[in-house]
Amino acid sequence: MQIALVTGGTKGIGLSVVRRLVASGATVVTCSRTKESWQHALQQYPELDKVLHKTVDMTVQSDVDELFYFIQQTFSKLTIAVNNASPAIASLGKFRDLPFSKATQTLNSDFLAHAYSLQHELKLMEKGSVIINVSSVNGLRPTPNAAMYSAAKHALEGMTRTLALESVAEGIRVNAVAPGVTWSPRWQERVEAEPELKVQVEQEVPMGRFASCEEIADAIEFLISDKAKYITGHTLVVDGGLSLA
């Protein structure tokens, strides 16, 4: 029996992954900061009614402790973890001029929150379990105007490879998926405020378009599956060629 946790599974990439895992027969736990985003997801996809949703802010350690206490008490184990939750980037703009509190906020939400969750996950995992960290092309290359987000994703990349090696003896695989620009609510909201942005971004992508959330879920599903059973410490880049340009 597969017990899966997808953090931030109420929208975008996370929601696509939750749908895949439910379709595969896994028992799925997910979380978000607001109950409303889950209620909205349930209206769209009523078949997700068996998913266990918890209202959790991944940057609040006591919330995360409660989430894992729930998983431990209910299932005693975790076999799949997809570390995906991430808020809109708080620290956009030239690094030199940023209020440092904004940079700290991004480091907390896009790296330390995942690191704290990873500790809990590994303690609940046994042989055959698998972790996917949702990184970004920004974790592989410089990103002007998003320096701390890029740094946090680079840190997640380093953590992925190190934990992969540390966990080999336990039979746990740890990999990352690095999406390029992906048409999720995060981008939809930005483009609503700045409509010309969509075409500008598309022109930067060699394939000329955003990824769909389903295309990112395809890569995550592959890395979770037995088809990837000899793969650990790898980052699968899914970016339409963006990081090559």
Residues of this chain that interact with ligand NAP (CB under 6 A) are: 7-8, 10-14, 31-34, 37, 56-59, 84-87, 109, 134, 136, 179, 181-182, 184-187
149 is catalytic: yes
The residues, any chain, with a CB within 8 Å of residue 129's CB and separated by 6 or more, are 77, 78, 79, 80, 81, 171, 172, 173
- Bridge partner residues of 27 (DSSP): 3
Cα–chain center distance at 156 = 11
Distance of closest approach, residue 141 Cβ to ligand NAP, in angstroms: 12
Task: Identify which of residues 53 and 173 has a Cβ nearer to ligand NAP in the complex.
Answer: 53
Contact 234, 163 (CB under 8 A): no
Distance of closest approach, residue 6 Cβ to ligand NAP, in angstroms: 9
Contact 175, 164 (CB under 8 A): yes
Distance of closest approach, residue 111 Cβ to ligand NAP, in angstroms: 11
DSSP code string of 141-162: S--TT-HHHHHHHHHHHHHHHH
Contact 151, 107 (CB under 8 A): yes
Task: Identify which of residues 56 and 78 has a Cβ nearer to ligand NAP in the complex.
Answer: 56
Q: Supply angle C-alpha 22, 81, 52, rounded to 5.
A: 45
Distance of closest approach, residue 169 Cβ to ligand NAP, in angstroms: 28
DSSP code string of 6-57: EETTTSHHHHHHHHHHHHTT-EEEEEES-HHHHHHHHHH-GGGTTSEEEE--
Task: Identify which of residues 67 and 172 has a Cβ nearer to ligand NAP in the complex.
Answer: 67
How far apart CA 153 and CA 91 sit, in angstroms, is: 14
Distance of closest approach, residue 58 Cβ to ligand NAP, in angstroms: 4
Task: Identify which of residues 69 and 168 has a Cβ nearer to ligand NAP in the complex.
Answer: 69
Task: Identify which of residues 83 and 167 has a Cβ nearer to ligand NAP in the complex.
Answer: 83
Catalytic residue of the set 45, 69, 116, 149: 149
Looking at the annotation, which residues are catalytic? 149
